[in-house]
Structure 1
Amino acid sequence: MSVLLRVHDLAVAYGHIEAVKGLDFHLNEGEITALVGANGAGKSTTLLALSGLIKASRGKIEFQGEDISRLPAHQIVERGLVQVAEGRAILTTLTVEENLQLGAYTRQDKEGIPASMEEVYQLFPRLKERAQQFAGNLSGGEQQMLAIGRALMAKPKLLLLDEPSMGLAPIVVQEIFRILVEINRRGLTILLVEQNVRQALKIAKHGYVIETGKIVLADSGANLLANPKVEEAYLGG
């Protein structure tokens, strides 16, 4: 199993406060990895650093063997590392289709975009039904589907997802996670940041537990689900 992303001693500070304190972890190609922990543990900050949206104060991020630590965010997207932001960040005054087209903005292979659009519509039939509607008129679940679909339009090699279940009804959460498993089955590597720890670890091959900016546990998803410490802290055990 080849390593797609390797992170060494990653630290991120907001002013004098260190939010992420020297993380070491890696992602294997073709797997779902979960990064779980309580609110404020440093999960979202870690993703923003990987995406180049905030600068690390130290450490190294290697993607496909290349050091991307100092690259600007748009160049990181061009290399295939794409993030779905917390809160979805869709453009509400554009149509569903226009949002999806924006996802393909950095692509050089313009002739391949219609096929990608069709793939997204196969994964999310509801988006096809609403293709010409304004994104602001979609339900929360549909907006989350659109955010994931827009990221897929960039043809990522690694998809970073920040709290995809946030604010959604349980039945919609089940659907989102089912689609993530399907996307992964098609070969896409996923790093999933999630407060819904049980749901995330159920679908993850590997997991890392982060507390106050440090990784405190690393194991397979199944082992972490069965770990009494995880159960007590996060699963209401």
Structure 2
Amino acid sequence: MSNSSSQAMLEVRGLEINYGHIEAVRGIDFTLNAGEVTALVGANGAGKSTTLLSLSGLVPKRRGKVLFEGEDITPLKPHQIVARGIVQVPEGRAILTTMTILENLELGAYRRGLKSAASELDYVLHLFPRLKERLSGLAGNLSGGEQQMLAIGRALMAKPRLLFLDEPSMGLAPIVVQEIFRALRAINGTGLTLFLVEQNVRQALKIAQHGYVLENGAMALTGTGRELLGHPRVLQAYLGG
């Protein structure tokens, strides 16, 4: 599923995030290995999306350090983090509904220019044929699942080296969720490193080489995706076992 060499791409050490006086994330450590899918799972409100937003520079860190390929990126602003090749697919998709599908995809390549992103556009339209059929149509006319495909496609247009995905299955029908996760597996198959924040614990851990379980802002468990899928605590708390 991956050509991983188990080399650390992103290292997070002692990350603390506060909202006012509330500790949202409490001193967590984790590592993303190059070429792998890593999943951060847990219940709603556990601190998963907050963690991801903080890594993208969108939520301030109270303490902690973030290293990307050995470089300290903790103080960088969001656009500087994107310039390093770290791109986020936001929760809720955040597509521009009054623009066409092609215009939304073009926005993903704004830093590079569309001419240099021709091969990425070809790849996105191959990955999501439904977008190809409706390129000149308004993004607002897409279904929820198609909008999620567009959000992922827009991020791929930036030619990321590390892709963050915040709740990509949220609000989607089960058959569409399967389709999205098949696409994520295919994207990882090209060698792209994925960090997946997801409430759908079963789907996330099925495609992840490594997983972390976040509970009330603290790391509760870690292991391979397969180990966590069979862990009694995960089965009981998240998988109805």
TM-score of the aligned structures, taking structure 1 as reference length: 0.98
CA contact (8 A) 1:80 1:157 kept: yes
Q: What are the residue-to-residue correspondences of 1:1-237 with 2, within 5 Å? A: 1-107=6-112, 111-237=115-241
Structure 2: runs of 5+ lacking an equivalent: 1-5
SS in 2 for 1:207: strand
RMSD in angstroms over aligned alpha carbons? 0.8
CA contact (8 A) 1:41 1:213 kept: yes
SS in 2 for 1:59: strand
CA contact (8 A) 1:34 1:208 kept: yes
1: distance between equivalents of 2:77 and 2:155? 18
Aligned identity (percent) is 67
CA contact (8 A) 1:77 1:106 kept: no
One-letter code aligned to 2:197: V
One-letter code aligned to 1:224: L
2: distance between equivalents of 1:104 and 1:12? 31
The Cα offsets for residues 54-91 of structure 1, whole Å up to 9 and x where unpaired, read as 11111001111111111110110110111101100000
1: distance between equivalents of 2:200 and 2:141? 26
One-letter code aligned to 1:169: A
The Cα offsets for residues 158-179 of structure 1, whole Å up to 9 and x where unpaired, read as 1111111111111100000000
1: distance between equivalents of 2:19 and 2:232? 33
2: distance between equivalents of 1:130 and 1:78? 30
Q: Which consecutive aligned stretches of 4+ in structure 1 deviate over 6 angstroms post-superposition?
A: none
One-letter code aligned to 1:15: G
CA contact (8 A) 1:84 1:147 kept: yes
CA contact (8 A) 1:81 1:160 kept: yes
Change beyond 3 A, Cα 1:110–1:142: closer
2: distance between equivalents of 1:104 and 1:111? 9
CA contact (8 A) 2:214 2:221 kept: yes
1: distance between equivalents of 2:30 and 2:232? 22
The Cα offsets for residues 185-217 of structure 1, whole Å up to 9 and x where unpaired, read as 001000111111011101100000000000010
2: distance between equivalents of 1:122 and 1:209? 33
SS in 1 for 2:105: helix
1: distance between equivalents of 2:201 and 2:66? 25
2: distance between equivalents of 1:179 and 1:101? 20
CA contact (8 A) 1:91 1:99 kept: yes
Structure 1: runs of 5+ lacking an equivalent: none
SS in 2 for 1:76: helix
The Cα offsets for residues 102-138 of structure 1, whole Å up to 9 and x where unpaired, read as 011122x654212211111011111111100110000
